[in-house]
Amino acid sequence: MFQLSEEEWQNLKSQNVTSSWGGRRTPPYVFTEQGVAMLSSVLNSPPAIQVNISIIRTFVRIREWALNYSELQDKIQTLQDAESNQNQHINHIYQMIEELLKPSLGERAKIGFKK
């Protein structure tokens, strides 16, 4: 068990949309996964056992999410790279269109059949 830092507590509060005037004034104490497992060996009431099982399942889901998070980051980075490449192509097309739309700098020599 440990106490959250002020920064962690502010981040947690903002995620839970708590009011700025109500609730806790100090950062809460939280359990690690191992702390919950140790606590479950001490508490034997049916509600405590159910709560501990739920908490352990949550930790397992968080661990699975954390493992997949790096894969998700890689996919997002790949999409961003592809997007920046496409943006470069689009910018090049815009430059070419602007060149075509610029007024000519003088008279062009007429081309075609002459009499």
pTM of the model: 0.41
- Tell me what pLDDT residue 104 has: 64
Mean pLDDT in order along the chain per 10 residues (115 residues)? 84 63 74 78 81 84 81 82 82 83 69 75
Q: What was the pLDDT predicted at 14?
A: 61
Domain ranges of the chain: 45-96
For 58-110, what is the HEC assignment?
HHHHHHHHHHHHHHHHHHHHHHHHHHHHHHHHHHHHHHHHHHHHCCCCCCCCC
If we measure between CA atoms, which residue out of 19, 61, 13, 56 comes closest to residue 37?
56
Q: How far apart are the C-alpha atoms of 36 and 56, rounded to whole Å?
A: 7
- Cα–Cα dist 39/63, whole Å: 20
| Dihedral angle computed from the Cα positions of residues 64, 69, 74 and 76, in that order, rounded to the nearest 10 degrees | 130
